[in-house]
Structure formats: C-alpha cells, structure tokens
Amino acid sequence: MIVKDKVSWVRLLFQVRGSSLTETWPRILGVTMVAMVVTYVEMYYGIQKYTLTTTPFALIGVAVGVFLGFRNNASYDKFWEGRKLWGTLVNTTRSLTRQACHMIDSQRDHDEVRQFRTIFVKRIIAFTHALRCHLRNEDPAEAIKKFLPADDFSRTIASAHRPLAILQQLSNDLAVARQRQWLGEFNHPFMEAQLNEFSNVLGACERIKNTPIPFSYSVLIHRIVAAYCLFLPFGLVEMTGVLTPVVVLMISYAFFELDAIGDEIENPFGLQPNDLPLTAISRNIEINLLELIGDPDRPEVLKPVNDLLV
C-alpha cells in the first residue's frame, strides 16, 4: 500500500508511482497515435466521408461511464471488505490473547501453565502469518517456524490448508486446557467463539480471493473501452481539428485508468502498490501479542520503504 504524508496538489498531478499509468501508458499512447494519423489525414486530405459525428460517442460514453463506475464500486467493495476482515482479525487476536492470559488457570499460574499459554498465543501469531501467506500464495514455513513446536510445525507444513491446520491445533489446546481443569467450563465457550471468528475471517477472505468479478463482464468492459477510445478521433476530428490527439489523450487516459484501477483492487490481498499491507498488519499483531505475554523478543514495526508498505 502506498503510504504518504500529505502531498501537495501540484505534486499529485505528476505522481506516477502508485498510479496505474505504468500499466496503461502503452494503450493511451496507441490510441493517441491513431488520433494523430486520423487528424493528419483529415487536415491534409479532407476525407470527410470516413468521419463520424459526436452523437454516438456521447451516447456510448454515458454507458461506458456507468459500466466503469459499477465495476469499480464492486472492486472497491471487495477491497474495503478485505480491510474490515483484517481489522476484525486484529481485534480477535487481541481478545483471545487477553482471555488466554486471564482465563487459563491464572490463579495458580505455575510454569507448566505459563508455558502452555505462551505456546497458545504464539500459535495465534502463526495463524495470522499463515493466513497472510495463504492469501498471497506464499510458502509460510519461514514465517511460522519459530512460533510452533517442531511436531506441530511439521504437521502444519504437511497439511494442504495451513491456516486451518493451525486453527485445529488451537481448538485442541483449548480442549486440553479444559481436560486439565485449567480452563473453566463457562470460559471455554467464550474462547471457542473467538476461534469461530478466526474461521469466519478465513472463509470470508478466501471468498474475496477466489470469487473474481465475472469474466464476461470484465471482457465486455475492456472491449468497449478499447473500441470507444480507438474510434473516438473519427467523431472529434471535424470539431476539434488539430487538437484532436490532445482531446483523445485526455479522454483515453480517464477511461483506461478507471478500467485498470478496477482490475488492480479487485484482489486486495496481493503485492501490488495499492493492495492491503498484510505483512505490516501481521507484524503489528505479532508485536501486540508478544507484549501481552511479556515476551521481550519482539520485532520492530514495519515502516514504509519508498512510501510502500507491504
């Protein structure tokens, strides 16, 4: 995610990094060159029979604007829902850790119980990192290795669904604590409810990742935008004359950029500049939970590198 302090209006006009221009400039340049050729032919050869009026472009432009707005709204809904889900994950990890510290035999608090609580909380951290890697199609081995006992780590890596395997281990931990009478029968359901919240977040994130906007709709939008911008100079050249390439450049920039933004934010869990900073959120969860259990070996907060927070 691009993270910047307040930037002046003038600097924003010339900001390239973080925008979709790095992806769309070949398309914009292509239609602008077509507009230059059409303008040249019209100005020097006067072939009016191959030009159009602005009426069809005005009508189609309204439809294109509506389609692009709807698609971008749908993409942003997925982006914002993803951020809310990770906000829920932050809150739930804190609540479950706090409950573990105060509900798992806090009266006697001997070494065995303290070790059990520490393993339990570190397993929550491992779940967070495993979820991030799962959504980004990354190998979680390095991220979770130091938070799991050796046997649990091996079982987790061998599993086809790593976050779910860790969630099962957390549920087993609560069952063990209940059997050993470290966790009261009235407190056990409260902590299980937090694990259910983890499961809900996991499933909702998978739904966002695995359910793209229907392909036929995306194809239609791309085709309409491309055709509209490509044929636009034929409808403008008689009205705008030599300035036709400039007008086409401005209009094609707007349409191609809106189209690209919808594609970019459709999956908010990736590694593009405008995707969610899952690594930074995971690191903050790790720091918070280790602090709650009094572990001094806490990492530093991730900071933006060249205004980019991953």
User: Would you say residue 237 lies in a domain?
Assistant: yes
pLDDT of residue 98: 93
DSSP bridge pairs for 308: 2, 305
Asked, for residue 52, whether it belongs to a domain, the answer is yes
Q: Are residues 202 and 220 in the same domain?
A: no
Predicted local confidence at residue 51, as pLDDT: 64
pLDDT per residue as tens digits for the range 94-106: 999 999 988 887 6
Residue 32 within any structural domain of the chain? yes
Considering the domain architecture, whether residues 43 and 176 belong to the same structural domain is answered as no
43, 242 contact by CB (below 8 A): yes
**Are 154 and 284 in the same domain?**
yes
Residues 146 and 259 in one domain: no
The pTM of this model reads: 0.89
Residue 113 has pLDDT above 90, yes or no: no
State whether 64 and 23 are in the same domain.
yes
For residues 166 and 284, membership in a common domain is answered with yes
On whether residue 303 sits in a domain, the answer given is no
- In this predicted structure, the answer to whether residue 6 has a pLDDT above a threshold of 90 is no
pLDDT at 128 exceeding the cut of 90: yes
Average pLDDT over residues 110-121: 89
Q: Are both 156 and 286 inside the same structural domain?
A: yes
| Percent of residues, the chain, with pLDDT higher than 90 | 49
Domain co-membership, 199 together with 280: yes
- Which of 33-42, 118-127, 216-225, 228-237 is modeled with the greatest confidence? 118-127
Q: Per the domain annotation, does 147 fall within a domain?
A: yes
Residues 67 and 19 in one domain: yes
Mean pLDDT over 106-121 rounds to: 82
Structural domain total, the chain: 2
Domain check: are 142 and 236 in the same one?
Answer: no
Domain membership of residue 306 (yes or no) is: no
Does residue 147 sit in the same domain as residue 287? Answer: yes
Asked whether residue 50 carries a pLDDT value surpassing 80, the answer given is: no
Residue 120, domain extent = 86-211+275-292
| 305 contacts 114 by C-beta, under 8 angstroms | no
Residue 309 lies in a domain: no
**167 and 239 housed in the same domain:** no
d(CA 133, CA 179): 33
**Domain-located, residue 138:** yes
The candidate with the shortest Cα–Cα distance to 233, out of 36, 27, 29, 55, is: 36
* Rounded-to-10 torsion of CA 98, 100, 104, 109: -70
- What per-residue confidence (pLDDT) applies to 54? 73
Q: Is the pLDDT of residue 90 over 90?
A: yes
3-state SS assignment for residue 183 = strand
Confidence category of residue 29, pLDDT binned at 50, 70, 90: very high
CA–CA distance from 292 to each of 10, 129, 165, 289 (Å)? Answer: 45, 18, 24, 5
Tokens coding 42: 């019209």
Q: Which residue has the higher pLDDT, 170 or 8?
A: 170
